[in-house]
Amino acid sequence: QVQLVESGGGSVQAGGSLRLSCAASRYTYTRDYMAWFRQAPGKEREGVAAIKTGGGTTYYHDSVKGRFTISLDSAKNTVYLQMNSLQPEDTAMYYCAARPTWYTNRGPLSDYPYWGQGTQVTVSS
């Protein structure tokens, strides 16, 4: 079982930036992919960004391309989400997620078995 702990959420004005962090446990076989999801009130949870830990290939939801960057520090077992040019529609609870390669054939922005507790991001206009 992998444990994921998010941090870095908060409140910011439109146009501002935040960086989220996700510290993962040392069981690397469970996290071939790591991702960030978000869920706004009344909406379904959606995949925002993902990274393949072996090789570093990244994937982004169209709504955040060019604004958000996912990255991995393997030495620290930590995944980051740098969020720039934040907009009110980015307001949501953000969750870190991890999955092994064998878990699913679905794309990297969906279907993860391991989740963190979430961190709130609020963007005011």
- SS3 string, the chain, reads CCCEEEECCEEEECCCCEEEEEEECCCHHHCCEEEEEEECCCCCCEEEEEEECCCCCEEECHHHCCCEEEEEEHHHCEEEEEECCCCHHHCEEEEEEEECHHHCCCCCCCCCCEECCCEEEEEEC
Segment 50-99, tens digit of pLDDT: 999 888 999 999 999 999 999 999 888 899 999 999 999 999 999 999 99
Segment 110-125, tens digit of pLDDT: 999 999 999 999 999 9
Please indicate whether residue 1 or residue 41 has the higher confidence score (pLDDT): 41
pLDDT at 99: 92
pLDDT at 112: 95
pLDDT at 52: 93
